[in-house]
Amino acid sequence: MKTTGAKILVDALHRVGVERIFGIPGSQNLELYDELRDAKFEVILVTHEVGASFMADATARCTGKIGAFTTVPGPGMTNAFTGMGEALLDSAPIIAIIPDVRNDINETYQLHEIAQCKAAEPLVKIAIDLNSANEIAGAVAKAYKVAKEGDPGPAMINMPYNLLIESAEYNFQMPVIEKPQMDAAAFDVIRSAVVGASNPGIYVGQGVFGATDALRNIAEQLGAPVATTICGRGAIAEDHPLAVGFGFGPQGTKTAEEAFAKCDVILAVSCRFGEVATASYCMKPKGKVYHVDIDPQVLGQNIKCEKTLHADATDFLEKLWTSIKDSPRKNSDALQQKIAAGKKAERDEILSAPMLEKGVNPQRFALKLREKAARNAIMVTDSGHHQFIATPDFAIYEPRSFLTPADYQSMGYGVPALVACALAHRGRQTIGIIGDGGFLMTGFELITASRNEVNPVCCVFNDGKLDLISKQQGKAYGRDSLVKLHQPDYEGLARGFGAEYVAIESDAGSDAGIEKALAVKGKPVLVDVHIVYKGLPRFMKAALSVNIKRTPLGQKWRFGKRLIKRLIFGG
DSSP string, 69-109: EE--TTHHHHHTHHHHHHHHHTT--EEEEEEE--SSSS--S
Both 100 and 200 in one domain: the answer is no
* Res 308: pLDDT: 98
* Domain assignment present for 388: yes
* Domain assignment present for 155: yes
* Domain assignment present for 149: yes
Task: Tell me how far CA of residue 382 lies from CA of 326, 366, 390, 501, in angstroms.
Answer: 44, 15, 12, 20
Task: Tell me how far CA of residue 296 lies from CA of 150, 180, 430, in angstroms.
Answer: 9, 10, 35
What is the gyration radius of the CA atoms in the chain, in angstroms? Answer: 25
Contact 268, 249 (CB under 8 A): no
Tell me the backbone φ, ψ of residue 491, rounded to 5 degrees: -65, -40
- Cα separation, 430 vs 423, in Å, equals 10
In whole angstroms, what separates CA 282 from the centre of its chain? 21
Please say which residue of 123, 141, 169 terminates a domain: 169
* Domain assignment present for 309: yes
The beta-strand segments (E) located in 148-239 are 154-160, 167-169, 200-204, 226-228
Q: What is the length of the chain? A: 571
Q: What is the 3-state secondary structure (H, E, C) of 210-223?
A: HHHHHHHHHHHHHC
Both 237 and 362 in one domain: the answer is no
Both 382 and 524 in one domain: the answer is yes
Both 402 and 442 in one domain: the answer is yes
Show the domain range for 159: 2-169
CATH number assigned to the domain comprising residue 468: 3.40.50.970
Both 517 and 550 in one domain: the answer is no
CA torsion, ordered 274, 277, 278, 279, to nearest 10 deg: 110
Both 255 and 245 in one domain: the answer is yes
Contact 248, 226 (CB under 8 A): no
* Domain assignment present for 418: yes
The structure's pTM equals 0.96
Both 237 and 147 in one domain: the answer is no
* Res 553: pLDDT: 82
* Domain assignment present for 522: yes
Both 140 and 17 in one domain: the answer is yes
- Which residue type sits at 442? T
Of 550, 551, 498, the C-alpha closest to 523 is 498
Please say which residue of 338, 371, 406 terminates a domain: 338
Please say which residue of 121, 141, 169 terminates a domain: 169
Within 10 angstroms of residue 269's Cβ, the number of other Cβ atoms is 28
Within 10 angstroms of residue 71's Cβ, the number of other Cβ atoms is 26
Contact 269, 317 (CB under 8 A): yes
Residues with Cβ within 8 Å of 48's Cβ and at least 6 positions away in sequence, in order, are 24, 79, 442, 444, 445
CATH number assigned to the domain comprising residue 269: 3.40.50.1220
* Domain assignment present for 313: yes
Within 10 angstroms of residue 483's Cβ, the number of other Cβ atoms is 17
Both 193 and 277 in one domain: the answer is yes
Residue 34: left (phi > 0), alpha (psi -120 to 50), or beta? alpha
Contact 232, 204 (CB under 8 A): yes
User: Within 13 Å of residue 523, how many CA atoms lie on the same side as its CB?
Assistant: 13
- What element of type H or E holds 12? helix 5-15
Both 108 and 203 in one domain: the answer is no
Of 216, 524, 244, 204, the C-alpha closest to 396 is 244
* Res 110: pLDDT: 82
Task: Tell me how far CA of residue 178 lies from CA of 188, 278, 291, 399, in angstroms.
Answer: 23, 30, 21, 23
Both 6 and 119 in one domain: the answer is yes
* Res 571: pLDDT: 65
- Cα separation, 407 vs 76, in Å, equals 24
In whole angstroms, what separates CA 453 from the centre of its chain? 24
Tens digit of each residue's pLDDT, the chain (571 residues) = 789 999 999 999 999 999 999 999 999 899 999 999 999 999 999 999 999 999 999 999 999 999 999 999 999 999 999 999 999 999 999 999 999 988 888 888 887 889 999 999 999 999 999 999 999 999 999 999 999 999 999 999 999 999 999 999 999 999 999 999 999 999 999 999 999 999 999 999 999 999 999 999 999 999 999 999 999 999 999 999 999 999 998 888 889 999 999 999 999 999 999 988 888 888 888 899 999 999 999 999 999 999 999 999 999 999 999 999 999 999 999 999 999 999 999 999 999 999 999 999 999 999 999 999 999 999 999 999 899 888 889 999 999 999 999 999 999 999 999 999 999 999 999 999 999 999 999 999 999 999 999 999 999 999 999 888 888 888 778 888 998 998 899 999 999 999 999 999 999 999 999 999 999 999 999 999 999 998 788 888 887 788 778 878 888 788 778 878 887 777 6
* Coil/strand/helix, residue 268: strand
Both 21 and 153 in one domain: the answer is yes
Within 10 angstroms of residue 214's Cβ, the number of other Cβ atoms is 21
- Which residue type sits at 249? G
Task: Tell me how far CA of residue 469 lies from CA of 182, 316, 355, 385, 534, in angstroms.
Answer: 44, 40, 26, 8, 14
- Cα separation, 501 vs 525, in Å, equals 6
- Cα separation, 448 vs 45, in Å, equals 7
* Domain assignment present for 563: yes
How many domains in the chain? 4
If you ran DSSP here, which 8-state letter would residue 294 be given? S
